[in-house]
Structure 1
Amino acid sequence: SSDLIRLLNPTFGETIVVTGLGLIGLMAAQLLRANGCQVIGLDFESAKVALAKQWGIQAFDVSGGSNPAGIVENLTGGVGADGVLITASTKGNEVIAQAAHMSRKRGRIVLVGVIGLDIQRSDFYEKELTFQVSCSYGPGRYDGNYENKGQDYPLPYVRWTEKRNFEAVLKAIANGSLDVKPLISEVVDVNDYENIYKHLGQSKSIASILRYSAAADVNGHTVPVKPRNFKGQKGVLGIIGAGNFTKAVIGPELKKLGANVKYIASARGLSATTSARKFGIAFSTTDTKVIFEDPEVDAVLITTRHDLHARQVVEALDAGKHVFVEKPLALTLEELEQVGLAYQRNNKTLTVGFNRRFSPFLTDARNQLGETGAPINVIASMNAGFIPSDSWVHDVETGGGRIIGEACHLIDLISFLAGSLVESVVMNALGPNPAENTDNASILLRYKNGSQGVIQYFSNGSKAYSKERIEVYSQNRTMVIDNFKKSKYYGFKKSGLSHSQDKGHREQFRLFMERLKNGGPATIPFEEIMNTSRAAICAVQSLKEGKWVDIHH
């Protein structure tokens, strides 16, 4: 509420209308009164209107069809409001139209609620109104460097940041200038939390408080969601990471395969609990040590942000767990070195989510090529699509960039088809001075057996075109695989394959769980995993140095 008031920039004596007297609206109204403003409050609920009047706010119940603009006009002697704060929620456009009608010429309107925004030009043109949407909390909100890395804005230049706004409100509550006790509509025992959330849309409560008993374990990090007995079972899994890829791919595939998943962990817990309910996982946790230290857990699946992969892989291996980690395995050669040492000192398997090699299109292509040992040429193109520059995947420290984070898929599939390891790599990128986190690049791969790989990873193409295309040239024969939906062979006895898109995710997890239960080597040789990971990192190094880089083993 403090940030939207700062955006409105009210001055002593001005008349401000607050439309919507919920929690935010009532707190904003109090702060405006403390700022010396004349405050008019509007709402459809008489109880909230009565509450506002206790603080000297001229509040009105407009549920009976009264004209809000007319009320404001009468109270301001026909001048209109200096500013309007909209803290209401409605799908219609009436609220924004009314805000314009009740404003004086050159008035200000700030929106923090969710309303229809079909704005009539004449309403704003004639009065020269300004309109702004508040991005909640204040400067720093949605800035990854501020919120996740703790990079504050210097106070002399940005006086009120997200954190400093919170501090100001808490001080106002502490000294009594902001009275929140009357806003508490109900206090509910934490065990009955569903009574609040089930009826959230229909409830007329302003603020609901969850009460923990004195004996409650407030430091508990693990909650049962669908608990069951795992004693004596093989192939029990723990998942670390409950982001979009887990929800869209890993969770559904594991559920279809009947996997025994005991835990799912996330940093804050909510996404993990939601996924646990959706996919039938026994426990949700915010403490990864619970997974590492549970003797019933055989393997850990790591799907966190890229900068956490290597460290969590080392932790899991040292805890005696088999590991499956989504790509990339690591962001630097130093991290790869640590992973390699952890693998050597523990007799456990390590698998990276290079799923393309498990696609029926890739396995059939390799079978058709045969084990002749002859070098091949492969061109792998990815029409990757645009991702905004402020996304975490572009952050060199957090995501590593899309070449390390995604183009590694193409390196692995070429290595799989070639049946060899990358010996050296060079990368060129679009533009006169490409950054190391570029996502428009061409990569050349030289293999030990003489094969050649060309990767075209572009983000500036059309969505209408296929996302992935693979061409293979060998001994007067050619293969073309189009987006893992169909393949066409030239010079082979077989003409190719055609069926629904299959990038190999399910087969990848089926084989992983089969090896967990029955024993056997990892589904991808460790040497190949490390080679692909090194090649991706060295491709970026090549761009920075402007030369071929050898892959050391």
Structure 2
Amino acid sequence: MKQIIQDLKKGNTILEEVPTPQVRPGTVLVRTTRSLVSLGTERMLVEFGKAGFIDKARQQPDKVKQVLDKMKAEGVLPTVEAVFNKLNQPLPLGYCNVGIVEAVGKGVHSFQVGDRVASNGNHAEFVCIPENLVAKIPDNVTDSEAAFTVIGSIGLEGIRLCNPTFGETIVVVGLGLIGLVTAELLKANGCNVIGYDFDQQKVDMAASKGITAFNPGNGTDPVKYVLQQTNEIGADGVIITASNKSDEIIHQAAEMSRKRGRVILVGVIGLNIRRDDFYKKELTFQVSCSYGPGRYDENYEQKGQDYPIGYVRWTEKRNFEAILNAISKGQLDVKPLITEEVPLEEFDIIYGNMRKQGSIASILTYPEQANKKVTVEVTSSQFNGQKGVFGIIGAGNFTSSTIIPGMLAADAKMKIIASAGGLSAKTLARKGNITQATSDYQEILKDAEVDTIMITTRHNLHAPMTIEALKAGKNVFVEKPLCLNETELDEITKAANQNDRMVVVGFNRRFAPLAQKMKKLLGEGPKNIVATMNAGFIPPEVWVHDLEIGGGRIIGEACHYIDLCTFLAGSKVKAVAMNSMGINPEENTDNASILLKYENGTNAVINYFANGSKAYSKERIEAYNQEKTLIIDNWRTLKGYGVKGFSKTKTKLDKGHKKQFKLLVESVKSGHPIIPFDEIVNTTKASFAAIQSLKEGRWIEI
């Protein structure tokens, strides 16, 4: 299928051939017939992509601070590589999609094949959208009219926050696409509506719909005009839909408001608010969040958990339905807003000049017979009879930044890569010189030339995909963790034994040059080890904290350090105890200390903390043995105390990925795993035991 993307590095807007997405549980697969180009929002993204690095930095000062902090902690080169990796990931454009349901995922009951629907899908011939972001289109609403559903919902949510009553005067600042829809909805709500914009065509359009509209560029003072129109009382509410960096807009909004008026921001403006403006009138100010309640809530959007209508009357989906109903009943007329309808193949007519005069809403039209392919060819390579041919499942940020570069450096033979959406697989296939990209990972399992599967998906998919790959006769490299519970571990162990295939987990730190140097200098025998992970705060709503999806950060991330301690100890864990910060610790924590007893007498403590400063080293390992002390600081320095002939060595940041992938490629050909499977099982059990210890308040034997 074809999809419009924005190249953030080069600045090009491209129509890309990508794999068709697969329908997933809780979603519907839609064949697109129309999509609306949001000239305001998408123009910002396109112009950001075209901007130089300095201009990009100026537009995102918060990101610049993150980059500087990363430079301090990890060095210049790794930071530059991370920034360029981010810019190399294309951005899919569009969020106003209309089409016909082609397939319905498991658990979806409100849609069936053939339904006409509107959603927030991208500009693509097929889109896969969660059920709560899709709404049925009434029979008397055309596809082109329905393309305004999402845009209309953005304006509608601003109105709901403003909470206007019949007869109130509401000012709409900015009469672009969202502003015009907002003004018309307010008028349908019984409000006196005043709107203004510097584009005379948009002012004339608003006036034709019965809106009191004016152009400040013709000499009219917005504040004085509104006060004049309201008998010096001021507006009851101001909804700002404009896009402008000036702070003057928020100042004028306050000036034209009545005492205790409401100011709602839907657009993007400068927000250097003058306290006196809001203090003297006791004004309220609120920023509207996109389409309405449920937006950015993973439980609502991705898991399909609806808000009870008795408590949350208007969710984003109900706002979609309300807009479609308004169009159906003639309360909202969007036909005059359509400037042009352009075939998808001629997209550059729109994107080539997004600032052209006279454009309000541009609509892309799609062919009835779309090219529906789950796998696309990217390069032409042959793998007949070769060993060590890899297929990759998962095309996220870690795959892009670490796995692909590492595998390229190891001269690995990569044939196919999969991602559910298809676009990221195509992008990384091109980056990694991978032959094929697919949206169906089953294609990799069925490929007879692929003998090794790399799994880099979210944690809850690691176990089932590992088992599937083993049963398909493939070796498996899976990013940590191996699995999330004992049952999954037992099933993996059984599948590995029955199919006589290797299972390796991406415990890369044992392969870091400084870790291997530390082990050699420590010598044999029981040791004391203190490993500290200054992990950093991750908001609780992020998926890694979800026990069903991510397993929590101890199982999902601290397992790295259990394996590292096992490597340094040269022994297996026999008992685990864990304590976490807080009076009433919960089973899901990211501030904890783990104590490990090893069979050879080694004692290890892992401090996994999320409440430290990012300016401090992220990782630190101390090891003590035979009157020697060795300290690794952030994988850049190793210091020795009491070590004959050694005091310090320094390297560039190296967490062992490069050597891990080199050894992995060699091991697949030789049949000798780079980490013994019994050690992987022991580490995995130790991570489970840490959680059990926290819950039960005792040592847990492995």
TM-score under structure 1 length normalisation: 0.91
AA of the residue aligned to 1:446: K
Q: Displacement of 1:83 after TM fit?
A: 1.2
* 2:175–2:241 Cα contact (<8 Å) kept: yes
8 Å Cα contact 2:410-2:665 kept in structure 1: no
State how far apart, in whole Å, the 2-side matches of 1:345 and 1:140 are: 46
- Asked if 1:150 is matched to 2:304, the reply is yes
Q: Cα distance 1:481–1:207, how it changes in 2: closer, same or farther (>3 A)?
A: same
Instruction: Find out whether 1:479 has 2:630 as its counterpart.
Output: yes
TM-superposition CA deviations, 1:447-497 (whole Å, max 9, x none): 222222211112222333322221222223222111111112233334142
Distance 2:324 2:243 in 1: 26
Q: 1:469 to 1:109 in 2, by over 3 A?
A: same
Find 1:520's aligned residue among 671, 675, 698. 671
**Residue-by-residue CA offset, 1:112-171 (whole Å, 9 max, x unaligned):** 111110111122222221110011121122222222222222111111112222222222
Structure 2 residue 529 is the aligned partner of structure 1 residue 375: no
Question: Partner of 1:434: helix, strand, or coil?
Answer: coil
CA offset digits 1:201-220 (Å, max 9, x no partner): 77864333332212213x54
- The alignment status of 1:491 with 2:645, answered yes or no, reads no
Greater Cα offset, 171-180 or 23-32: 171-180
Q: Is the 8 A contact 2:201 2:358 kept in 1?
A: no
User: Which position in structure 2 is the counterpart of 1:104?
Assistant: 258
C-alpha deviation, 1:223, in angstroms: 4.7
- Determine whether 1:77 maps to 2:231: yes
CA drift of 1:301 comes to 2.4
Tell me what 1:388 maps to. Answer: 539
Matched, 1:338 2:491: yes
SS of the equivalent of 2:291 reads coil
CA RMSD of aligned residues (A): 2.5
Return the alpha-carbon distance in structure 2 between the equivalents of residues 46 and 295 of structure 1. 64
The partner residue of 1:191 within 339, 345, 354 is 345
**Contact 1:230–1:296 under 8 Å retained in 2:** no
Q: Check whether the contact 1:190–1:212 (CA below 8 A) recurs between aligned residues.
A: yes
Q: Is the 8 A contact 1:107 1:130 kept in 2?
A: yes
Distance in 1 (alpha carbons) for counterparts of 2:347 and 2:387: 35
* Partner amino acid, structure 2, of 1:523: I
In the alignment, what sits opposite 1:165?
319
Q: 1:241 to 1:91 in 2, by over 3 A?
A: farther
Task: State whether structure 2 residue 698 is matched by structure 1 residue 544.
Answer: no
What's the secondary structure of 1:41's corresponding residue?
strand
For the 8 Å contact 2:350–2:362, the answer to whether it is kept is yes
Contact kept, 8 Å, 1:230 with 1:236, in 2: the verdict is no
Residues 80 and 174 of structure 1: CA distance in aligned 2, closer, same or farther (over 3 Å): same
Q: Which residue of 2 is the match for residue 49 of structure 1?
A: 203
**Greater relative CO, 1 or 2 (CA 8 Å, sep 6+):** 2
TM-score by length of 2: 0.73
What's the offset of the Cα at 1:506? 1.7
Cα pair 2:174 2:240 within 8 Å, conserved: yes
- Could you tell me which amino acid in structure 2 is paired with residue 187 of structure 1? E
Q: Is the 8 A contact 1:21 1:43 kept in 2?
A: yes
Q: Shift of the alpha carbon at 1:57?
A: 1.9
Residue 512 to residue 101, structure 1, CA distance change in 2 (3 Å):
same
Does structure 2 retain, via aligned residues, the 8 Å contact 1:470–1:482? yes
- Answer with 504-513 or 49-58: which moved more: 49-58
Q: Distance in 2 between matches of 1:538 and 1:309?
A: 19
The farther-off stretch of 487-496 and 262-271 is 262-271
Q: Which string of whole-angstrom CA distances, capped at 9 and with x for unpartnered residues, describes residues 7-39 of structure 1?
A: 010111112122222222222222112111122
Who is 1:215 aligned against?
Answer: 369
Q: Secondary structure at the match of 1:497?
A: strand
Q: In 2, are the aligned partners of 1:246 and 1:303 still within 8 Å (CA)?
A: yes
1:385 aligned counterpart, secondary structure: coil
Counterpart AA for 2:518: A
User: Quick one: distance in 2 between partners of 1:364 and 1:348?
Assistant: 31
1:500–1:214 Cα change, 3 Å? same
On the 8 A contact 1:87/1:113 being kept in 2, the answer is yes
Provide the C-alpha distance between the structure 1 equivalents of 2:670 and 2:217, rounded to a whole number of angstroms: 69
Between 206-215 and 254-263, report the one with greater CA deviation.
Answer: 254-263
Q: Partners of 1:243 and 1:7 in 2: how far apart?
A: 36
Aligned residues: 546
CA distance in 1, matches of 2:425, 2:349: 21
Q: 1:49 to 1:345 in 2, by over 3 A?
A: farther
Match of 1:88 in 2: 242
Change (3 A) 1:103 1:290: farther
Question: Is the CA contact (8 Å cut-off) linking 1:446 and 1:452 kept in structure 2?
Answer: yes
Corresponding residue for residue 238 of structure 1: 391
- Residue by residue over 1:220-271, the C-alpha shift from the partner in whole angstroms, topping out at 9 and shown as x without a partner, is 44455x4333443654433333333233333443455554444443333444
Letter matched to residue 431 of structure 1? G
Q: 1:338 & 1:319 partners in 2: Cα distance?
A: 15
Q: Quick check: 2:573–2:682 contact (8 Å CA) kept in 1?
A: yes
**1:458 corresponding residue in structure 2:** 609
| Amino-acid identity (%) | 58
1:300–1:160 CA distance, 2 compared to 1 (3 A): same
Task: Rate the CA distance shift 1:401–1:42 in 2: closer, same or farther, 3 A.
Answer: same
DSSP 3-state at the match of 1:501: coil
Moved more, 309-318 or 191-200: 191-200
Distance across 2 between alignment mates of 1:44 and 1:294:
59
- Give the counterpart letter for 1:317 in structure 2: L
**Does the CA contact (< 8 Å) of 1:310 and 1:335 recur in 2?**
yes
Return the offset for 1:276: 4.6
Letter in 1 for 2:317: K
Paired residue type of 1:89: S
8 Å Cα contact 1:423-1:448 kept in structure 2:
yes
Determine helix, strand or coil for the equivalent of 2:204. helix
Instruction: List gaps (5 residues or longer) in structure 2.
Output: 1-154
- Following the alignment from structure 1 to structure 2, what is the Cα–Cα distance between the partners of residues 194 and 523? 50
